[in-house]
């Protein structure tokens, strides 16, 4: 009984395998022909069919003027006006073709035109493997897909994915841009492009370079990875990851972002940045370890805030920094809650608890204005409004030279204060030395005070409309009256280098991102995986239903 069951199972399995093999290797059928030559005089081993020849094989129909049918090999050669179609999904015209029924493989040459509902390929020779539903060519081809035209020396079409693969020089052109790459995957249904290796996307206004990225030719937007940058006129944006949206005139960068303006000579850096292009002037926003670097008199001004913004056109730029703003230049530094710099008026406002250090001078007030000359671009003057203080630490002792007033107005020469006026309820405490020996402390009150400075140090203090003024020996002036009301020394906050402009939490964030980025660079770079919107495009954008042609 067991032997009988085993025999039946073996017979059944063999029958299934034979049936599948027969189905796989179904015979080519000649459906129609005006004339048949079976003498095999013209081509030994072949039946010759002439005139209105129609061939059928497993879902594909081929028509031509003449055919050689090698029945034993399940093979056919086709001549003259060859037209091959696979249902409603794929059509191919040529002057000559060959078709192998066992391998389900087609070869077409001579002015080949291959079409699907959404694209047309024109080339000299195409090989089409129906088993894996792939067509490939190596004879320079042109593909037209909607507004897109692609040209390359070679390519492969994967019908099931509606995707072209190019691994040699390819150019994609449409009215909006030109894309060039040596490694491009292009989806004909969605117009989505994936590039790998040096690639460029050029339009009339913009230029994009990337070595790994995605570009939606219909929406005109991109996601860019390796070594990417976008150039807008005079501005260049770089970053580990970039996003570009042409219709919205918007771009953004994530991690190690750098926006450079080559004409206005400034750089904006951070780990998240955005550019909004507007007719009235572009807007730039940077956060996460944000810093603006501006060239000033052959020196660089570094400005940081939690959020940095640059708006306006050339000559009328406005730079804003919000929350814990700080700046550093070799001869001046400062900090405040927010900073506002107006290029057209040469005015920089430090708002809310501002402090400026210029040489040995510390200046504080309710608001500080730094004014630059529009002609020379050099720092010209300073205004300290509300409870204005200028303080110098006594370098030979423990005291502080202090001058205060309601407002303060100072003038700069070569970025150093040389003249200062404190106006309204002016007071002074000045430590006076003779050859490094303290001989007295000048304490006085008046309507205003005029200061003269040399090399940032006070050389004279003239009390105008003085109410009270006296020089006290050191021993005779009590310690509790050696500081003016509102005195605040902020020496422990002095910004001594460009690295000091970053608070500890932002520096920690920066270090983490940079370290993670360096580790990512050590990994082998691979092409982007297709996005979900690419893979699900047909499901979310259904076209008209396609009929399936069946053998009569």
pLDDT tens digits for 89-123? 899 999 999 999 999 999 999 999 999 989 999 99
| d(C-alpha 48, C-alpha 69), whole Å | 6
What per-residue confidence (pLDDT) applies to 297? 72
Quickly state the pLDDT bin for 9 (edges 50, 70, 90).
very low
Q: Which of 63-77, 153-167, 361-375 has the lowest mean pLDDT?
A: 361-375
Above 60 in pLDDT, residue 191?
yes
* Residue 131 DSSP symbol: T
Q: Which of 242-251, 327-336, 392-401 has the lowest mean pLDDT?
A: 392-401
Cross-strand partners of 521: none
In 3D space, the residue among 317, 301, 297, 319 whose CA is nearest the CA of residue 309 turns out to be 319
Q: What is the 3-state secondary structure (H, E, C) of 337-406?
A: EEEEEECCCCEEEEECCCEEEECCEEEECCEEEEEECCCCCCEEEEEEEEEEEEEEECCCCCCEEEEEEE
Cross-strand partners of 252: 243, 274
Above 90 in pLDDT, residue 212?
yes
Above 50 in pLDDT, residue 468?
yes
| Average pLDDT value for residue range 331-356 | 93
Above 80 in pLDDT, residue 406?
yes
What per-residue confidence (pLDDT) applies to 371? 92
| Average pLDDT value for residue range 124-153 | 96
Residues 6+ apart with CB under 8 A from 469: 442, 443, 444, 445, 446, 463
Using DSSP bridges, classify how beta strands 75-86 and 163-166 pair: parallel, antiparallel or unpaired. unpaired
Decide if 472 contacts 430 (C-beta within 8 A): no
What per-residue confidence (pLDDT) applies to 58? 94
Burial of 208 from C-beta contacts in 10 A (0-12 / 13-18 / 19+): buried
Does domain 333-501 fall into CATH 3.50.30.10? Answer: no
Decide if 505 contacts 486 (C-beta within 8 A): no
- Host H or E run for residue 14: helix 2-24
Cross-strand partners of 466: 446
Provide the sign of the torsion angle of the four alpha carbons 157, 97, 113, 548, taken in this order: negative
Quickly state the pLDDT bin for 24 (edges 50, 70, 90).
low
| Average pLDDT value for residue range 72-84 | 97
| d(C-alpha 64, C-alpha 86), whole Å | 15
Distance of CA 131 to the CA centre of its chain: 41
In 3D space, the residue among 313, 304, 238 whose CA is nearest the CA of residue 282 turns out to be 313
| Average pLDDT value for residue range 173-200 | 96
Q: What is the 3-state secondary structure (H, E, C) of 406-440?
A: EEEEEEEECCEEEEEEEEEEEEEEEEEEECCEEEE
Above 50 in pLDDT, residue 195?
yes
The residue ranking higher by pLDDT, 326 or 399, is 326
DSSP string for 474-513: GGGS-GGGSS-TT----GGG---SGGGGS-HHHHHHHHHH
| d(C-alpha 157, C-alpha 319), whole Å | 51
Note the pLDDT tens digit of each residue in 257-288. 999 988 777 899 999 999 998 877 789 999 99
Using DSSP bridges, classify how beta strands 355-358 and 60-70 pair: parallel, antiparallel or unpaired. unpaired
Q: Which of 137-141, 224-228, 279-283, 431-435 has the lowest mean pLDDT?
A: 279-283
| d(C-alpha 427, C-alpha 443), whole Å | 8
What per-residue confidence (pLDDT) applies to 8? 40
Q: Which of 149-163, 333-347, 505-519, 530-544 has the lowest mean pLDDT?
A: 530-544
CATH code linked to domain 25-137: 2.60.450.10
What per-residue confidence (pLDDT) applies to 25? 66
In 3D space, the residue among 363, 353, 289 whose CA is nearest the CA of residue 333 turns out to be 363
The residue ranking higher by pLDDT, 206 or 315, is 206
Question: For the chain, where do the domains classified as CATH 2.60.450.10 start and end?
Answer: 25-137, 333-501
Decide if 196 contacts 212 (C-beta within 8 A): yes
| Average pLDDT value for residue range 422-445 | 89
What per-residue confidence (pLDDT) applies to 315? 74
Above 80 in pLDDT, residue 544?
no
| Average pLDDT value for residue range 398-422 | 91
How wide is the angle at C-alpha 499 spanned by C-alphas 494 and 503, nearest 5°?
A: 70
Give CA separation, 199 vs 151, 182, 225, 354, 477, in Å. Answer: 15, 7, 12, 48, 75
Quickly state the pLDDT bin for 543 (edges 50, 70, 90).
low
Provide the sign of the torsion angle of the four alpha carbons 58, 61, 62, 67, taken in this order: positive
């Amino acid at each position: 009984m067991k032997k009988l069951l085993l025999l039946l199972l073996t017979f059944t399995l063999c029958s299934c395998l034979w049936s599948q093999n027969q189905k796989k290797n179904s015979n080519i059928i000649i459906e129609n022909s005006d004339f048949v030559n079976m003498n095999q005089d013209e081509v030994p081993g072949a039946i010759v069919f002439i005139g209105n020849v129609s061939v059928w094989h497993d879902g594909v129909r081929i028509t031509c003027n003449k055919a050689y049918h090698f029945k034993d090999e399940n093979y056919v050669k086709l001549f003259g006006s060859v037209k091959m179609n696979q249902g409603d999904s794929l059509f191919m015209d040529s002057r000559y073709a060959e078709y192998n029924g066992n391998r389900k493989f087609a070869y077409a040459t001579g002015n080949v035109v291959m079409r699907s509902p959404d694209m047309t390929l024109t080339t000299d020779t195409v090989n089409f493997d129906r088993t894996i539903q792939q067509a490939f060519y190596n004879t320079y081809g042109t593909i037209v897909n909607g507004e897109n035209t692609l040209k390359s020396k070679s390519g492969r079409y994967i019908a099931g994915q509606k995707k072209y693969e190019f691994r040699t020089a390819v150019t994609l052109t449409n009215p909006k841009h030109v894309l060039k790459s040596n490694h491009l995957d292009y989806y004909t249904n969605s117009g989505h492009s994936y590039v790998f290796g040096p690639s460029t996307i050029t339009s009339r206004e913009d230029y994009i370079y990337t070595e790994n990225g995605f570009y939606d030719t219909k929406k005109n937007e991109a996601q860019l990875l390796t070594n990417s940058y976008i150039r807008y006129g005079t501005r260049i944006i770089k970053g580990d990851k970039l996003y570009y949206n042409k219709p919205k005139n918007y771009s953004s960068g994530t991690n190690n972002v750098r926006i450079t303006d080559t004409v206005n000579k400034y750089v904006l850096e951070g780990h998240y940045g955005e550019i909004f292009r507007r007719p009235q002037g572009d807007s730039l926003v940077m956060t996460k370890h944000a810093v603006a670097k501006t060239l000033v008199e052959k020196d660089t001004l570094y400005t940081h805030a939690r959020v940095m913004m640059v708006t306006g056109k050339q000559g009328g730029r406005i730079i804003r920094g919000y929350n814990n703003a700080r700046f550093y230049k070799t001869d001046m530094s400062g900090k405040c809650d927010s900073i506002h710099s107006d290029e057209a008026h040469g005015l920089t406002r430090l708002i809310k608890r501002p402090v400026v250090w210029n040489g040995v001078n510390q200046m504080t007030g309710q608001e500080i204005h730094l004014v630059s000359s529009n002609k020379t671009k050099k720092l010209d003057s300073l205004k300290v409004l509300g409870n204005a203080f200028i303080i110098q630490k006594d370098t030979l002792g423990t005291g502080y030279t202090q001058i205060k007033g309601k407002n303060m107005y100072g003038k700069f020469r070569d970025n150093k204060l040389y003249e200062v006026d404190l106006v309204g309820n002016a007071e002074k405490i000045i430590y006076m030395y003779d050859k490094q020996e303290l001989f007295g402390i000048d304490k006085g009150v008046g309507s205003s005070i005029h200061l003269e400075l040399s090399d940032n140090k006070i050389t004279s203090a003239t009390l105008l409309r003085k109410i009270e003024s006296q020089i006290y020996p050191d021993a005779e002036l009590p310690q509790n009256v050696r500081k003016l009301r509102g005195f605040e020394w902020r020496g422990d906050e002095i910004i001594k280098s460009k690295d000091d402009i970053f608070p500890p939490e932002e520096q920690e964030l920066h270090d983490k991102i940079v370290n993670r980025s360096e580790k990512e660079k050590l990994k082998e770079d691979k092409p982007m995986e297709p996005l979900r919107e690419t893979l699900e495009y047909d499901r979310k954008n259904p076209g008209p239903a396609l009929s399936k042609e069946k053998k009569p």
